[in-house]
Amino acid sequence: MFNPEPIDTKDIVLSPELKELTEKIAENVHNVWAKNRINEGWKYGAKRDEDKKETPCLVPYSQLPEIEKDYDRNTALETLKVIISLGYKIEK
């Protein structure tokens, strides 16, 4: 059985600048996901339907429900925290 063990980032504190970056990364995560889905033949649909390849999430990031945005935000946030926890520095 698979037992995921992500890198522990609970002690990583992001600077205000990196926190701001999180939303931009989250939007890009959504756009990459959406582009891949479209390339796989998915299209917008009111309800998710695997057989018809339809999903209500094929909309611009700004139109996603907050629960979907939070999923992308968490991915972005954890990615930034992992980068820092591995000793890298992010500079503009």
Q: Splitting the chain (92 residues) into consecutive groups of 10 residues, what average pLDDT does each group show?
A: 95 92 96 98 97 97 96 96 95 86
Residue 78 confidence (pLDDT): 96
What pLDDT sits at residue 4? 94
Task: Return the pLDDT at 86.
Answer: 96
Which among 36, 39, 57 has a CA at the least distance from the CA of 48?
57
Contact 60, 35 (CB under 8 A): no
Angle at the Cα of 64 from the Cα atoms of 62 and 68, rounded to 5 degrees = 125
Per-residue pLDDT at 92: 84
Query: Tell me, what's the pLDDT at 28?
Result: 97
User: Rounded to whole angstroms, how far apart are CA atoms 92 and 90?
Assistant: 7
Question: DSSP state, 14?
Answer: -
* DSSP SS3 for 19: helix
- Single-letter amino acid code for the residue at 53: K
What would the pLDDT profile of 74-91 be if each residue is shown by its tens digit? 999 999 999 999 999 998
